[in-house]
Amino acid sequence: MSTLKILILFCLSFKTYAQLTAFPEAQGFGAFATGGRGGSVLKVTTLAATGVGSLSWAVNQPGARIIVFDVSGIITTDIEIPHGDITIAGQTAPGAGITLVGHLTTQFGVETNNIIIRHLRIRPPNPNAQWPPNQHDSIQFSSANNIILDHIDVSHGADENIDMWDGAHHITIQWSNISFPIYDVAN
């Protein structure tokens, strides 16, 4: 009997640690992305491509950040995520939500960790000299890990709508619509 008490006491003395998921419904390899957890909350207050209060401004702020929206509509610009620890919470936009007409990318060759993107529509713009037809995907993440894309709607990319490469790993794309890739976007 005393052995049983000692065994129970021994087992109860260990703390149990459970890793938090990105959000309650998160699943898959990217489910444990931390995004901007614990960082500053930044509000997108304009649909303009640049300037204080724009999505581009919020994405480029240093440190961990959670981006929320006070506006809804179409934002026409390319967004490059320069460093990780970011949550883009599209579900906070009022009304019809947010559509990004542009490319969503990470910096080539820069390891970008812990990205959470939810409730966003992404459409690439028309091809031009900056983005030739063979690089016309809606989302391109290079060297990125711990990523979860949830409830995104991506379409009309060149040969792929979403391109994860150069060692990208621990990625989940869930509850999303990925449609209408265009084989020959130049024509």
> Is 15 inside any structural domain?
no
| pLDDT tens-digit readout, 30-40 | 999 999 999 99
| pLDDT tens-digit readout, 46-102 | 999 999 999 999 999 999 999 999 999 999 999 999 999 999 999 999 999 999 999
> Is 19 inside any structural domain?
no
**Three-state SS annotation for the chain:** CHHHHHHHHHHHCCCCCCCCCCCCCCCCCCCCCCCCCCCEEEEECCCCCCCCCCHHHHHCCCCCEEEEECCCEEEECCEEECCCCEEEEHHHCCCCCEEEECCEEECCCCCEEEEEEEEEEEECCCCCCCCCHHHCCCEEEECEEEEEEEEEEEECCCCCCEEEECCCEEEEEECCEEECCCCCCCC
CATH number at residue 128: 2.160.20.10
Domain that holds residue 116: 36-179
Least confident of 102-111, 132-141, 167-176: 132-141
* This prediction's pTM: 0.86
Domain count, the chain: 1
